[in-house]
Structure 1
Amino acid sequence: MTPGGWITMIISVGFVTVLFAYCVWRVLTSHKPDHDLGHIEPVHKDQVDER
């Protein structure tokens, strides 16, 4: 492989590796929300037929 090919490959693989590490770091160090967005509301017995 030519030196230009090696340089291109090292830059490409290095960029993808750094981007992957940054994304993993952001996910692992993110703050947890104080609330849950997804929840099931209770259904009252008089509303069973309406839903």
Structure 2
Amino acid sequence: MTTGGWINMFLSVGFVTVLFVYCVTRVLRGPGAKQEHELGHVEPLDEEESETR
């Protein structure tokens, strides 16, 4: 394999490995790890309010 092939392979495998580790750590940490990206709580509409809209 040529030098360019080795570089391409290492970059590709390295990128996928880093992405995999990042995703696994995000899943294992759970939803409470970062609070700044939390969405606001949305209350469901009452049945009476939804009928009038």
Q: What band does the TM-score fall into relative to the shorter chain?
A: 0.5 to 0.7
- TM-score when normalising by structure 2: 0.57
- TM-score when normalising by structure 1: 0.59
Unpaired runs of at least 5, structure 2: 33-53
Structure 1 residue runs of 4+, over 2 Å off? none
* Alpha-carbon distance in 2 for matches of 1:9, 1:26: 26
More helix by share: 2
Q: CA RMSD in A?
A: 1.2
How many residues align structurally?
A: 32
Unpaired runs of at least 5, structure 1: 33-51
Identity of aligned residues (%): 69
Match of 1:10 in 2: 10
